[in-house]
Amino acid sequence: MFRIVIENEDDVYMACSIGKKVAAEHGLNKTQQTKLVVSIMELARNIVFYAKRGEIIINDIPSYGIEIIAKDQGPGIPNLDQYIDHAFPSKKGLGLGLSGVKRLMDEFEITTAINMGTRVRAVKWIKEGQGKHNDNITYRP
């Protein structure tokens, strides 16, 4: 298990590099590795931009997949579902955003609470269709 504190662009890069290495070592193919790395980048950039500080945890689940957890104690996300379900065009719009992460990963869960923070858990499977897709959104205003 790797835990990377995220505060700046160098930390984002570090998390992406570690994610790529772990994914390659655990048998994800190149396409899966790219999807995982892009997802780590999106979540880590969100931490830097909106929460200032947080962490990314990268965990291999043997013969299942790679799990990433992004968490922070930042401002939380008001109107979360507009970003997830409708792929709302974001203000910055430079990346794929949360809806992109949901699309690229095989499991996706997000919990956010105003002034408490945000936690995203996502998994990239090694084999297609081996788990149960879930899509849990928890929002505590």
Residues that bind Mg ion (CB under 5 A): 46, 97
What is the nearest approach in angstroms of ligand ATP to the Cβ of residue 52? 9
> Should residue 139 be labelled a site residue for ligand ATP when binding is judged by CB under 6 A?
no
x/- mask, ligand ATP, residues 66-85, rule CB under 6 A, reads: ------x-xxxx-----x--
Nearer to Mg ion, 90 or 131 (CB): 90
Helix ranges (DSSP H) in 26-109: 30-46, 80-84, 97-104
Residue 140 CA to residue 39 CA, distance in Å, equals 24
Q: Are 111 and 122 in contact (CB under 8 A)?
A: no
* Helices first, then strands: H and E counts in the chain: 4, 6
Provide the 10 A C-beta neighbour count for residue 63.
10
> Should residue 94 be labelled a site residue for ligand ATP when binding is judged by CB under 6 A?
yes
Q: Are 63 and 27 in contact (CB under 8 A)?
A: no
| Residues of span 96-115 touching ligand ATP by CB under 6 A | 97-98
Residue 50 interacts, among ligand ATP, Mg ion, none and using kind-specific CB cut-offs from 5 to 8 Å, with ligand ATP
x/- mask, ligand ATP, residues 45-64, rule CB under 6 A, reads: -xx--xx-------------
- Residue 119 carries which DSSP code? E
Q: Which residues are near ligand ATP by CB under 6 A?
A: 42, 46-47, 50-51, 72, 74-77, 83, 90-95, 97-98, 118
